[in-house]
Amino acid sequence: MSEEMSRRDFLKVSAAAGVALIAGELVKGAGSTAYGAVKVPEIEKATIIIITDNYFDALRADSKITKRYRGHPKSSIYDSNLHAEHGLACYVETVVDGKPHALMFDFGVDSQGVGRNIGLLGIDFKTLEALVLSHGHFDHWGAMTTLLKAQNEKVPQGIPLYVGEEAFLERFFQSPNALISLEFLNRENIDSLGSVKIVQIKEPVAIIPGAYSSGRIDRVTEYEKIPPMFLVQRGDKKEQDNFIGEQALIMNVRGKGLVVLSGCAHTGIVNAVRHAQKTTGVEKVHAVLGGFHLTGAKPEAIQRTVADIKSIKPDYIAPMHCTGHEAIAAFEREMPEQFILNTAGTKYLFTA
């Protein structure tokens, strides 16, 4: 989309159903990653369990692709409620050639609450083959080290922890009244565990069979901008954080298309999805899930994001975590057939 093309013109094109072709040209022509550079194998099944998120609803109904948490069979109703927080943690399983493989994507904030959810949801750390951190904000790594210590006997020895660039730098939030430290993930604390191998990545890479990390996400939209209040400590300077190392997770379900899971999408959820299309060479998108970081965004940015995601035509859209009420409501209004309201404990099932 050219900078001269207004949103009104874009929506006219979208209504005319020609937008898929336009999106395809954007994917093929933008950014630094070669088109179809990563051959993501088709998988028979993908399961994503949301260990924690900002919202929990014990009465939310199941849907075609979701199973909601209904309580633990061995716990009383008082002990079965899940913990929700301003954080995100996910368990992801792929099935390739009949064999399951599992990873954990982000870790939430409160180790006690997240750890309790892991037990209630029946997640076994013995099944994990890899760990992935989407980016260096506390609401995605806060519980990590304590969780891994608590699960030390179950965590496979030498399990890789995939992180992007600048994952261990201190972050800040510049509020109108104060500079707030968002702290930093201490690499030494992870190394001291003795069981985790840190792997820094820049390019798309297979995390487990059938699940790839995005690598650096190409920036192709002109409206998905990172707010200036997000800062990072580089050397002796506090500079605007460009989230160069932010990672999304990409899977390709046979006959259905791509499943894209985002932690926060500071780089833009449209950028993340188009990057997934471009790097894999797969145009069909089955589902887009995760944090879209539109909380507090201007209405125009929300409208353009919803319009562009709608033009990509995913079968399902599940905004989470930092997406914000206004953006979630907009997705539900504009994409009612595709929209899923996420809750902590929801299990997503994508099958060929």
CATH number at residue 144: 3.60.15.10
- Does pTM surpass 0.75? yes
Give domain status of residue 129, yes or no: yes
Residue 7 located in a structural domain: no
Residue 8 lies in a domain: no
- Distance CA(99)–CA(36), nearest Å, equals 26
Structure tokens at 166: 């600048």
Distance linking the first and last C-alpha atoms of the chain: 33
Q: Determine, yes or no, domain membership for 296.
A: yes
Portion of the chain with pLDDT greater than 90, in percent: 86
User: Beta partners for 250?
Assistant: 212, 260
Q: Is residue 4 part of a domain?
A: no
Position 25: which residue type? E
Number of CB atoms found within 10 A of residue 7's CB: 15
Tokens 């791509």, residue located = 258
pLDDT for the residue numbered 15:
37
Q: Is the pLDDT of residue 93 over 70?
A: yes
Across 65-85, average pLDDT: 92
Q: Examine residue 347 and state whether it is found in any structural domain, yes or no.
A: yes
Distance between CA 112 and CA 249 in Å, rounded?
26
Q: Alpha helices of 49-128 — where are they, by DSSP H?
A: 111-120
| Residues spanned by the domain of 144 | 13-351
- pLDDT tens column, 236-292: 999 999 999 999 999 999 999 999 999 999 999 999 999 999 999 999 999 999 999
Position 73 scores a pLDDT of 85
Instruction: Judge whether 264 lies within some domain.
Output: yes
| Number of folded domains that form the chain | 1
Which residue, among 134, 94, 79, 143, has the nearest Cα to 115 in the 3D structure?
143
Q: What is the pLDDT of residue 78?
A: 85
Does residue 27 surpass a pLDDT of 50? no
- The tens digit of pLDDT for each residue in 207-225 reads 999 999 999 999 999 999 9
For residues 65-96, one letter each, b for 16 or more C-beta atoms within 10 angstroms of the residue's C-beta and e for the rest, the string is: bbebbeebeeeeeeeebbbbbebbbbbbbbbb
Task: Tell me, yes or no, whether 141 lies in a domain.
Answer: yes
Give the pLDDT confidence of 174-187 residue by residue, as tens digits.
999 999 999 999 99
pLDDT at 32: 67
